[in-house]
Each structure stands twice: as structure tokens, then as C-alpha cells.
Amino acid sequence: MAQDPVIIAGAGPGGLVAALALHRVGRAVRLLERAPEVRAVGAGLTLQVNAMRMLDAIGLREPVAAAGEALGMGTIATASGAVLSTMPLEGVRDRYGTTGVAIHRGALARVLAEALPPGVLRCSSQVEGWEADDQGVRVRLEDGTELRGQALIGADGIHSRVRAGLLGEVPLRYAGYTCWRGVAPVARPLGEGVMSERWGRGRRFGIVPVDAHQTYWFCTENAPPDGRDGDDPHAELRERFADFAAPVDELVEATPAEAILRNDIVDIEPLPRWSEGRVALLGDAAHAMTPNMGQGACQAIEDAVVLAHCLSAHASVAAALADYEARRKPRARRFVTRSWTFGRAGQWENAVARALRDTLTRLTPRSTLARTMDGVWGVEVPSLPGPG
């Protein structure tokens, strides 16, 4: 008898990696995506060492790295470009077996989607509801289709329908600042593999090369929620970030106006639970966090690999999902809290507070930074046994 699949709602990075990892351990899987095709929403992202190590467990570290930019240096600077802190990343490969990678979201989606086995992905498929019992889960789609599975994994993002069905409506928490993002056709403005974040008064600007020809940038500003741009985002950003040194202006100007994205920064407060019986949450559906540590996609990828490990290690699906939640929830919760805290400090407007922050950043030894990052990057990578 054919095995009922694990049904995954949402083909973002977490859902795609979960499907690939589950296939690797021999589980039948069906990946549902509400859009007509797998597509990137956003601009760029960083896959830090912990995420790349997880991708290595499913054999995709090298193709993902080839599609992005290996990160060799990270800096924190003032708006004028004066460097406060530098973290060389040359020794990271020796310690962890890989570097971090910056990548365009579209490139990541393409690499992961192309690795899926035929028949796994079903697009134009929005989950409307489900019923679960001891035998499995029956999932209803908006078009009336019903699918039978052994489990339902909600990887359907911060506005997760699966989470709403499991826990009710969960309010989003506005962080107090908005963000613009774009990808400019500008090659490595600070050097190969060099990324930087610059801090101003209630504003930040980030610069991240995503390949040899393009640079991802983002900028934040304290603002009321639900703001809207005018007809000329270039002019507005020039005015808002006029005191930020080059290459800020060049990156913004080189980005087509229609490709500049604006979103308020939000997260969700830690949830009381991620799973119930045969249904569990993954990625932003479980632990949406602000982007200040660059760990949103990374934690979703960790979720995905740990989920596959747990489902391969337990005969009971419910026991596997409970184990997955127990393993992942404390770590993800820490990143939600830290990302929120780091973001608030980065957005300070008070001159005294900013001077103290900048001084502490400048005086923090690299050895302290390395120990801190070891707690982020040195996560245990679970084994993924092959089918059989």
C-alpha cells in the first residue's frame, strides 16, 4: 500500500527544505504552494553557517553556495562609513566546514525547487482547513480538493492559515520601524564577500553582495505603521538617508523604482505550542522574527532538517512532532527575543544611548564576537538516514 504523504503547506525556504529532507529519509511528501509557481517574495537574504551546515545534510550546500556569494567579512559602521566593528570570516570554513552565503531569494528558490523530485510540488493550492485523527490528516483546499496525509506541516509564513486553525488568530507585533529593500545591479561595492550595516539616528542601511553582479540592500527608519511611499521612492530615500555615505545613494539609484519593496517590520511573540497530534508549524508560521540577526530563513531551515530527523526516528507521527517541537522551540525562541532586542538598539535615536552603543560595539573583542557566533553557528546537525 502506498504511504500517505507528509503534507507541507508553503513552498518558502523552510517548506522546500522540509520536502527535500523528508524525501531524503524516505518519507512520501506533498508540498503545497498557494501561488501559481514557486517564486521569491523579497530581495536577498543571508544563509549563515548554521543554515549552510543544515543544507549540507541534504546534499545542497554546494549548489546553493554556487548560486550566491560566500561571505568573507562583516562590518558595523556609522552612517558616515566609519567602521565600529569588523569580523573577518576567513577562519569560519576551517572551524565549521563552510562559510555563510548571501543569495538572491529568487536564486535560492530556483535551486531548491529544481532539486525536488517530480510530483512533489503542487501549486495554486491554498489550505482551507483540515481534520486529524489517529489514522492521519484530511486536508481541504480552497478549490474543494481533499488530500489525505500522515501529517500536516504549516510552513505557510507569518500569516499562516495552519497556525490560525491550530491556535486561533495570533496578532503581529510591530517593531516600530519600517524597511525598504532592493537588489541593485552593482558589483560588490565594498569588496568581494564584504557585507556591512551602517547605523544612524533611528535609521540603518545594510549592504550585502548576493553574487558577482548584484548587491542586496535594505534600510530601516523609525515610523508609525502602515506608511506609504509617494510616486518617487528614489527621491524619498535620498532625502531620508542623505547623511549616509557612499555607496548608499548609488545602490538606491541603481534599483528600479518598481523593484524597491517596503514592509513594516513585525514578528509574533513566542507561541505556547507549535504542534498538536499530527499537525505542526515550521519557520515563520512558528516563530516569525525580526530580521536583525539574519536568522529567519536559517531557523526555518534548521526546523526542516530537525523535522525530517524526528520523523525518521519515531514510529509515531505525533511523538515525532512533539519531539521536533521540544528540540526546536527553545532555540528559535531565543532568536526571536534577541532579534527584537538587537533591532531596538539599532534604531535608537537618543544621542547618549547611541554613543554608548557605538562605543561598546567598537570595544568588543573579536574573541567575544567569535564565542557569540559559535552559539549561533555551532548547532548540532542531526543525522538523516537514507530510506530503508
What domains can be seen in the chain, in order of their start residue? Answer: 6-172+268-377 (3.50.50.60)
Chain segment 92-110, per-residue pLDDT in tens: 998 999 999 999 999 999 9
Q: Which residues contact 94 (CB under 8 A, 6 or more apart)?
A: none
pLDDT at position 388 = 56
pLDDT at position 11 = 98
Q: Rounded distance, CA 301 to CA 295, Å?
A: 10
Contact 210, 107 (CB under 8 A): yes
Task: Give this prediction's pTM.
Answer: 0.96
Run of H or E residues at 310: helix 296-313
| R_g over Cα of the chain | 21
Enter the C-alpha cell of residue 314. 519515531
Q: Rounded distance, CA 65 to CA 376, Å?
A: 19
Instruction: Convert 227-262 to b/e letters by CB count within 10 Å (16 or more is b).
Output: eeeeeebeebbeebbeebeebbeebbebbeeeebbb
> What CA dihedral angle connects 236, 357, 368 and 335, to 10 degrees?
-60
Q: Are strands 6-9 and 279-281 parallel, antiparallel or unpaired?
A: unpaired
Q: Are strands 151-154 and 6-9 parallel, antiparallel or unpaired?
A: parallel
What is the block-wise mean pLDDT of the chain (388 residues), using blocks of 10 residues? 90 98 97 92 91 98 98 96 89 92 97 97 96 94 96 98 97 98 98 97 98 98 92 94 97 96 97 98 99 98 99 97 98 98 98 97 91 93 82
Q: Rounded distance, CA 317 to CA 138, Å?
A: 15
Q: Which residues contact 208 (CB under 8 A, 6 or more apart)?
A: 44, 46, 69, 102, 195, 215, 216, 217
Q: Which residues contact 196 (CB under 8 A, 6 or more apart)?
A: 74, 75, 76, 77, 190, 206, 207
Q: Which residues contact 187 (CB under 8 A, 6 or more apart)?
A: 209, 212, 213, 214, 215
